């Protein structure tokens, strides 16, 4: 039997499958939750808002079901072309979804950004059912927690709400169980071993960008784009990757390189270590830094860096 046959035949007649759009404000924990659900890191995570820039599929497969989780950029009020791209990219995720999973961060009381999410969900949800994941419950102690959960749950009309900690895993199995039950009958769309449809080049670029975001401050995390120039699987146990880190200004280049190259070295070591774990091979990683002036405001340059407007169609 070929691989293709097994995709279509190895599932029971009551097999379920569907798409879950994971949406929320920047920093709510969407990517953390998807990594947690899959038990593998496929998406970049950082303490800074607006880490995710484009949709990414996380695929959860078991005997009974295949659930496709769409990680999306945080919904926010954009201030430049890249921000507009990100928000439109997130908004299109609503269109194909069988279920909308809104992640709310309960570590603080709801504010204007949360109300903006609520309005966006109300505008775009159509007839699609909504579940809420009330995330970061590890940061709030009882009895305050109960009031917090209620305040957040009151923001958005929903079918069910689940208090969770994406970081620690609390409540996540219950959430996944409920999502599975909500999926319509359907086939297995991807081979059981696939975790994402993103290729290794994209994941490598995202991990490098994540390390830049974690290690830099102010505008720099947002001014960075990463391009994989070459990715060669030299042997089954060694890959050689060379990547360019683009920034918007000469001064930012100096900061990313750091004194005596210390910063770029740190970014390289952290990225390499994590990629070796993810891909289970040794990696030689070479990083260079280049200036692409004001690329975030320039649609042509954005396109060159992989943020194509037609991604939003």
> Shortest approach of Mg ion to residue 143 CB, angstroms?
31
Is 52 a binding residue for ligand GTP by CB under 6 A? The answer is yes
**Count of residues engaged in binding ligand GTP, rule: CB under 6 A:** 24
User: Is the separation of the CB atoms in 28 and 74 below 8 Å?
Assistant: yes
Nearest to ligand GTP by Cβ — which residue?
74
Contacts of 5 (CB under 8 A, 6+ apart): none
Q: What is the helix (H) or strand (E) element at residue 122, kind and residue range?
A: helix 112-124
Residue 264 CA from chain centroid, whole number: 24
Q: Which of 19, 23, 37, 46 contacts ligand GTP by CB under 6 A? A: 46
CA separation for the pair 165, 287 (Å, rounded): 35
Q: Which of the residues 239 through 268 are near Mg ion (CB under 5 A)?
A: none
Segment interacting with ligand GTP (CB under 6 A) among 9-17, 130-138, 237-245, 290-298 = 130-138
* Binding at 7: pick from ligand GTP, Mg ion, none (beta carbon under 5-8 Å per type): none
Binning the chain into helix, strand and coil, the percentages to the nearest 5 are 40, 25, 35
User: Is the separation of the CB atoms in 272 and 283 below 8 Å?
Assistant: yes
Segment interacting with ligand GTP (CB under 6 A) among 19-27, 180-188, 233-241, 250-258 = 19-27
Interaction pattern, residues 149-168, with ligand GTP; x per rule: CB under 6 A: ----------------xxx-
The closest alpha carbon to 113, from 9, 4, 23, 16, belongs to 23
Q: Which of 17, 27, 31, 89 contacts Mg ion by CB under 5 A? A: 31
User: Is the separation of the CB atoms in 287 and 243 below 8 Å?
Assistant: yes
| Comparison of 17 and 89: residue with beta carbon closer to ligand GTP | 89
Q: Which of 78, 108, 116, 138 contacts ligand GTP by CB under 6 A? A: 138
CA separation for the pair 90, 132 (Å, rounded): 17
Is 52 a binding residue for Mg ion by CB under 5 A? The answer is yes
> Shortest approach of ligand GTP to residue 175 CB, angstroms?
12
| Comparison of 31 and 120: residue with beta carbon closer to Mg ion | 31
Q: Which of 49, 78, 83, 171 contacts ligand GTP by CB under 6 A? A: 49
CA separation for the pair 274, 186 (Å, rounded): 35
> Shortest approach of ligand GTP to residue 172 CB, angstroms?
9
CB-based burial label for 230 (10 Å; 0-12, 13-18, 19+):
exposed
């Amino acid at each position: 039997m070929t691989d293709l046959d097994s995709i279509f035949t190895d599932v029971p007649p009551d097999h379920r499958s569907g798409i879950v759009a994971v949406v929320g404000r920047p920093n709510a924990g969407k990517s953390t939750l998807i990594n947690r659900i899959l038990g593998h890191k496929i998406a970049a995570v950082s303490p800074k808002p607006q880490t995710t820039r484009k949709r990414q599929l996380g695929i959860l497969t078991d005997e009974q079901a295949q659930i496709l989780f769409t990680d999306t950029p945080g919904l926010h009020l954009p201030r430049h072309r890249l921000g507009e791209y990100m928000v439109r990219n997130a908004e299109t995720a609503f269109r194909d979804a069988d279920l909308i999973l809104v992640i709310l961060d309960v570590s603080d009381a709801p504010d204007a950004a949360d109300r903006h999410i609520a309005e966006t969900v109300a505008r775009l949800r159509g007839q699609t059912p909504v579940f809420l994941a009330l995330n970061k419950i590890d940061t709030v102690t009882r009895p305050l927690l109960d009031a917090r959960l209620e305040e957040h749950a009151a923001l958005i009309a929903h079918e069910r709400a689940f208090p969770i900690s994406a970081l620690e895993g609390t409540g996540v199995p219950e959430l996944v169980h409920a999502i599975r039950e909500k999926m319509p009958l359907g086939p297995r769309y991807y081979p059981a071993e696939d975790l994402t449809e993103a290729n290794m080049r994209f994941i490598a670029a995202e991990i490098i960008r994540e390390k830049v975001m974690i290690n830099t401050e102010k505008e720099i995390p947002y001014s960075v784009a990463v391009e994989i120039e070459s990715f060669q699987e030299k042997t089954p146990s060694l890959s050689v990757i060379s990547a360019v880190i683009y920034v918007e200004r000469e001064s930012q280049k100096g900061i990313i390189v750091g004194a005596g190259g210390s910063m770029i070295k740190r970014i390289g070591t952290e990225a390499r270590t994590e990629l070796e774990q993810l891909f289970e091979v040794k990696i030689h990683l070479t990083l260079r830094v280049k200036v692409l002036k004001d690329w975030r405001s320039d649609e042509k340059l954005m396109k060159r860096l992989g943020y194509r407007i037609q991604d939003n169609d």
